[in-house]
Structure formats: C-alpha cells, structure tokens
Amino acid sequence: MSIRTFGILGAGQMGAGIAHVAAAAGFDVLLADVALARAEKAKADIDKRLAKAVEKGKMTEEARRALVDHIKPVEGVPALAPADFIVEAVNEDETLKKQLFRQFDEICRPEVILATNTSSIPITRIAAVTKRPTQVIGMHFMNPVPVMKLVEIIRGLATSDATYQTTVELCAKMEKATIVSRDISGFIVNRILMPMINEAAYALYEGIGTAADIDVGMKLGTNQPMGPLELADFIGLDTCLAIMEVLHTGLGDSKYRPCPLLRQHVDAGWLGRKTGRGFHDYTAKG
C-alpha cells in the first residue's frame, strides 16, 4: 500500500513535531486532538518556527507554505479514518492508549499500520487489544522531533516483517536514523536516559549539589547539550515520572524507584518548561 496520509493523534510537543517532519517529507498530515483548537495551535506554532527559519535564510517562503499546507488540523479519533498510517502521540497512559487503539482498529482500513510513539510501554500489550497485532509497532521519536535524528523502533511479539519494513522506510523518508529495541519496558533510550535523570533528582534530593551545579557538572563534564534536570524539565516531569513507573513496575527492580522529589514536583504541578516551573524556574526567562 502506498502511504500518502499520516494520521497523528495528539497535538502536544511530540505529535506536533511528528506532524512537522512528516509534512516536510511530503506526506499529507491529519493532526488530531480532542479539541480542534489544540491541533490548530500546534499548526500555528509549527508555522511560527518555520517563519524564523525563513528569516534566518534557512528555508524559502515557498517551502514554508508548502510544508504547512500539508498539515490539516482535525478533531477527535474518527477524523483520522482516511489515514494510510497512524501515529499515536498522547500521554504515557497505558489505559488511554489501549482505548485509542481499540478505536483506531474500528475506524481504520484493515491494511493500515497503527504506530505508537510510546516512550516506555510494551507494544505487545497495546497490540493485543486490536484485531491486527501484526500491524502494530512502536515508533519512538525524540524531542524536539525536527532536530533529533533518531527514531527507536519497537517490534511487538506479533509485529510482522512487512510492518517493520514499511515503518523503517517511512523513517528514512523523514530523514531519521532508526534503531531497533526489544519490546521490554523503557526500550533502549529511556532504559538508560531516565535512570540518569532520576539519579540527578536524587543528587538534588540528597543535597549533593544545587540544580544549577548538577546540570553544569553534566553539561561541561560530560559534553551533554543540556544538564539532566534541565532535560527533565524539557521532556516534562510528568512524562519522566510515568516512564520511571513503567521501568519500576515492568522490570520489577527497586533500582528504578522514582525519586520522591520528582514525584513531589509532579504533585505540585511543577511539570517543567510547559508549566513555567520544574527543577528550574522559567517564569523570569520568558
């Protein structure tokens, strides 16, 4: 089947980023969220970022217009019925994802592949709620999607070779490198990244250093573009906590227990950049 239309559910930072790179690769994109206004805002934000690229001389005005014209904001799951390929990019919530995959299974043509951008939840469990587990796959993009080169691909127990091949080819069209992970909670990237972030939260919790010193230490001491606490704020502390919970319960090892300080920040609604405060305060930084 030739794939022309990407259906993306979830117009948050990940869904919007995936819409951006899919449109840049020439696919038509249906970008859905529960409320149309959220999908429209995501498209407007993509357009603003492209306008900056045009200003910097990194993109032509025609290319900008062509890219945004490929993105159609829509409302709700049923609006994705015409899609040739689905990517789900909602919160890291297994119950919600399963409910959505049941709906996709009902509304999408039988040949359509259903991909999830889950960053940690086993694909096999999500696939099992559909009647097409051979066509369910993990397609884990990194944030910010237009900048990061990687997509981590996760095959569920039943995922077919054809589904895997098609997904790898789509990633290549979007100029992304791919790696393959076994379908174990957390996969490769978050199995390694999240314990580092969690350990940085413990270092802060135990008063080993200030948030600024922990971040500068890791930035300048290990050449990472962002310190771990700054990166956690960028990803979202709610997402980091959800991934740590998946590692902790899925792998059953106490070394993955979420840091109480991380949990407390989430309880306080200090979710990182998106709420203006996380381990760092962004209210003064604009």
Which residues are part of the catalytic machinery?
A: 119, 140, 152, 190
Q: What torsion, rounded to 10 degrees, do the Cα atoms 134, 163, 116, 102 define?
A: -40
What is the smallest separation between the CB atom of 190 and ligand CAA, expressed in angstroms?
5
Residue 212: partners with Cβ closer than 8 Å, 6 or more residues away: 280
Of 154, 158, 167, give the one whose Cα is nearest residue 130: 158
Indicate which single residue of 1, 4, 26, 58 sits in contact with ligand CAA (rule: CB under 6 A). Answer: 58
What is the smallest separation between the CB atom of 272 and ligand CAA, expressed in angstroms?
11
Indicate which single residue of 5, 116, 119, 166 sits in contact with ligand CAA (rule: CB under 6 A). Answer: 119
**168 counts as binding ligand CAA under rule CB under 6 A:** no
For tokens 């990166």, name the residue.
Answer: 231
Query: What mask, x for binding ligand CAA by CB under 6 A, covers residues 23 to 52?
Result: --------------------------x---
What is the smallest separation between the CB atom of 176 and ligand CAA, expressed in angstroms?
13
Indicate which single residue of 8, 142, 151, 242 sits in contact with ligand CAA (rule: CB under 6 A). Answer: 142
Q: Which residue number, 4 or 52, has a Cβ lying nearer to ligand CAA?
A: 52
Edge-first strand listing for the sheet containing 136-141 = 71-75, 28-33, 5-9, 85-88, 113-116, 136-141, 150-155, 177-181
Q: Which residue number, 55 or 161, has a Cβ lying nearer to ligand CAA?
A: 55
CA distance 49 to 35: 22
How many chain residues interact with ligand CAA (CB under 6 A)? 18
The values of phi and psi at residue 140, to 5°, are -95, 100
Q: How far is CA 142 from the centre of its chain?
A: 6
Angle separating helix axes 228-235 and 189-205, nearest 10 degrees: 120
By CB under 6 A, the residues from 179 to 238 that bind ligand CAA are: 189-190, 193, 225-226, 231, 235
Binding residues for ligand CAA, rule: CB under 6 A, are 49, 56, 58, 119, 142-144, 146-148, 189-190, 193, 225-226, 231, 235, 239
